[in-house]
Amino acid sequence: MEKICLFPGTFDPITLGHVDVIKRSVSLFDKLIIAIGINSQKTPMFSIEQRIAWINEIFKDYPQISATSYSGLTINYCKEIGAQYMMRGIRYIADFEYEKAIADMNRMLAPEVETIFLTCAPEYTTISSTIVRDVIRNGGDVSRIVPPEVRV
């Protein structure tokens, strides 16, 4: 059976922290789907199309990685695409507490989907898409916190 993993997020924009987690996890699965969640309550800085294009460019040499978007409950999307695993990146303890609560709910809704937590490398713990967007909005240099493909 093919091991399919969903890595959901907003990736607005994708950061070096995301890239680190993705590259270190890709060998664990036959297929890794990076899925951009559409949240009607949030107004993203970058379009879904732009974010998918960045992801496809960054991981063009990884045939087992694909990018897509979805709406609704992430766990339902896992079931829809046949993903047995969902991966979540963790930076700090607070991330774990938040993600654990979601993983517990997902387990109740779909016990066949296992959530996997992967911590990012220490040099990326302070990077978040929120901080990156703030730096971009204020004309700062993001070259050390996003992949070259994302330079805006």
Q: Are 66 and 83 in contact (CB under 8 A)?
A: no
Single out the catalytic residue among 91, 100, 107, 133: 91
Whether residue 91 lies in the annotated active site: yes
CB atoms closer than 10 angstroms to residue 128: 16
Catalytic member of 23, 42, 60, 151? 42
Element at 50 (helix H, strand E):
helix 48-58
129 is catalytic: yes
Q: Specify whether 100 is catalytic.
A: no
Q: Which residues contact 39 (CB under 8 A, 6 or more apart)?
A: 10
Among 90, 87, 84, which residue's Cα sits nearest to residue 110?
Answer: 84
Cβ-contact 127, 17 below 8 angstroms: yes
What are the catalytic residues? Answer: 18, 42, 91, 129
